[in-house]
Chains A and B, each alone.
Chain A
Amino acid sequence: DAMVIQNPRYQVTQFGKPVTLSCSQTLNHNVMYWYQQKSSQAPKLLFHYYDKDFNNEADTPDNFQSRRPNTSFCFLDIRSPGLGDAAMYLCATSRTGQSNQPQHFGDGTRLSIL
Chain B
Amino acid sequence: KQEVTQIPAALSVPEGENLVLNCSFTDSAIYNLQWFRQDPGKGLTSLLLIQSSQREQTSGRLNASLDKSSGRSTLYIAASQPGDSATYLCAVPSGNTGKLIFGQGTTLQVKP
Contacts and interface: CB of A to CB of B under 8 A. Distances in A.
B43 A45 contact: no
B31 interface: yes
Nearest to B90: A42
A94 B104 contact: no
A94 B34 CA distance: 13
A100 to B, nearest CB: 4
Among B30, B44, B93, B103, max chain A CB count under 10 A is at B44
B51 A100 contact: yes
Given A104-B46, A108-B42, A48 B32 contact: no
Interface string A77-114: 00000000000101010101111111111111010000
A31 interface: yes
A43 interface: yes
Nearest to B94: A99
B83 interface: no
Contact of B46 (A33, A42, A102, A107): A102
A98 B96 contact: yes
Interface residues of A, number: 32
B102 interface: yes
A42 B43 contact: no
Contacts of A106: 43
Contacts of A24: none
A101 B34 CA distance: 10
A29 to B, nearest CB: 11
Nearest to A91: B43
Given A41-B104, A42-B89, A103-B34, A31 B44 contact: no
A88 B39 CA distance: 12
Interface of A: 6, 31, 33, 35, 40-45, 48, 50, 55, 57, 88, 90, 92, 94, 96-108, 110
| Nearest 5 interchain pairs by C-beta | A99-B93, A108-B43, A42-B102, A107-B43, A99-B31
